Amino acid sequence: MVDTKVNLSGLVLDNPIIPASGTFGFGYEFAEIYDINILGSFSFKGTTLSSRFGNPTPRIAECKSGMINSVGLQNPGVDKVISEELPQLKQCFHKPVIANISGFSVEEYAICSEKIDKVPQVGLIEVNVSCPNVHDGGMTFGTQAESAAEVTRAVKAVTSKPVYIKLSPNVTDIAEIAKACEEAGADGISLINTLMGMRIDLNTRKPVIANKIGGFSGDAIFPVALRMVYQVYEAVKIPIIGLGGISTARDVIEMMLAGATAVQIGSANLINPYVCKEIIEELPALMQSLDINSLTEIIGGAH
């Protein structure tokens, strides 16, 4: 019998499969089609201090091997997430969940994180300093080492649960930023968020997305994500959640060999809502075929 358990800073998961924030809502929608308790955990929809309607439409553009989105962090705000969304989620998901937090100032990150830290069903806080869809926040913090470290310090000062910083790939040196977050007290790193991309409509001769540029995700970004996880693993000693273009059980193993302790699956959920379930079911047989007894033994195995 193979062992699929992994450990994220004391949060033990039955398996490393985590649906990524923004692609799984608040979970209960997916609970209507399968038992989501088979998941290791999941990262719920990106949450800000105040409610947000998001960016103007159209917000989505298809690509050959992925998609571009510019949703703009549409969410009801942290207080309603705590009072309404999480109690509804608790009816169908009985494991600790990952809270994805965004902000437009260091203070907002801290306030949001402090509020969500008090929720018993939250097991880990994922701080998104890398969302490319909001003009006056995210990207600025995630593209400079000191800014990312400043957010990390502020959040760690008001929380007791593990804090993972979700980093942007749209930088020159991802390892430098990850190292700065580690030195500022981060318990782990999530990477990568989306790359920047766009599409142009040949008929209107204008960008497809109202925001012109959005976050590019899907199969096409997997090699970039894998490379960055590999680089960050060599730069830090804290756990890494790897994400970006993962859609198969083989991708999971490859990402863990690069250095990820767990993985998140994003765009693939929008193509096949059963993808996480299928990967969880396929993983044990794949491990046996590759002579892997425990997933923890292969973390960083390609180094």
Residue 44 lies in a domain: yes
| Nearest-angstrom CA–CA distance, 274 and 271 | 9
Of 112, 131, 181, 276, the active-site residue reads: 131
**Mean pLDDT, residues 231-241 taken together:** 98
Q: Provide the pLDDT for residue 74.
A: 93
Predicted confidence (pLDDT) per residue in 152-194, tens digit: 999 999 999 999 999 999 999 999 999 999 999 999 999 999 9
Active site residue 131: yes
Containing structural domain, residue 23: 6-55+72-195+217-298
Percentage of the chain surpassing pLDDT 70? 97
Is the peptide bond prior to 192 cis by the omega test (within 30 degrees of 0)?
Answer: yes
With b for 16 or more beta-carbon neighbours within 10 A and e for fewer, the 62-75 pattern comes to eeeebbbbbbbbbb
Residue with tokens 């790193």: 189
* Number of domains comprising the chain: 1
Q: What is the CATH number of the domain that holds 245?
A: 3.20.20.70
- Grade residue 86 by pLDDT with cuts at 50, 70 and 90: very high
- Grade residue 139 by pLDDT with cuts at 50, 70 and 90: low
Residue 50 and residue 80 in contact, taking contact as beta carbons nearer than 8 Å: no
Residue 173 lies in a domain: yes
| Nearest-angstrom CA–CA distance, 24 and 273 | 9
Is the peptide bond prior to 162 cis by the omega test (within 30 degrees of 0)?
Answer: no
Residue 66 lies in a domain: no
Residue 212 lies in a domain: no
3-class DSSP string for the chain: CCECCEEECCEEECCCEEECCCCCCCCCCHHHCCCHHHCCCCECCCECCCCECCCCCCCEEEECCEEEECCCCCECCHHHHHHHHHHHHHCCCCCCEEEEECCCCHHHHHHHHHHHHCCCCEEEEEEECCCCCCCCCCHHHHCCHHHHHHHHHHHHCCCCCCEEEECCCCCCCHHHHHHHHHHCCCCEEEECCCEEECCEECCCCEECCCCCCEEEECHHHHHHHHHHHHHHHHHCCCCEEEECCCCCHHHHHHHHHHCCCEEEECCHHHHCCCHHHHHHHHHHHHHHHCCCCEHHHHCCCCC
Residue 67 lies in a domain: no
Q: Provide the pLDDT for residue 107.
A: 92
Percentage of the chain surpassing pLDDT 90? 92
Q: Provide the pLDDT for residue 151.
A: 94
Residue 151 lies in a domain: yes
Rounded to 10°, the helix 174-183/145-156 angle is 30
- pTM for the model stands at 0.96
Query: Of 107, 88, 67, nearest to 25 (Cα)?
Result: 88
Q: Provide the pLDDT for residue 199.
A: 97
Q: Provide the pLDDT for residue 141.
A: 85
Predicted confidence (pLDDT) per residue in 259-275, tens digit: 999 999 999 999 999 99
Query: Of 17, 23, 11, nearest to 281 (Cα)?
Result: 17
pLDDT of 31 above 70: yes
Q: Provide the pLDDT for residue 104.
A: 87
Residue 122 lies in a domain: yes
CA angle 192, 70, 84 (to 5 degrees): 85
Predicted confidence (pLDDT) per residue in 216-232, tens digit: 999 999 999 999 999 99
Residue 209 lies in a domain: no
Q: Provide the pLDDT for residue 273.
A: 97
Strands laid side by side in the 60-63 sheet = 60-63, 66-69, 214-217, 195-197
pLDDT of 138 above 70: no
- Grade residue 20 by pLDDT with cuts at 50, 70 and 90: very high
- Grade residue 133 by pLDDT with cuts at 50, 70 and 90: very low
| Nearest-angstrom CA–CA distance, 188 and 167 | 11
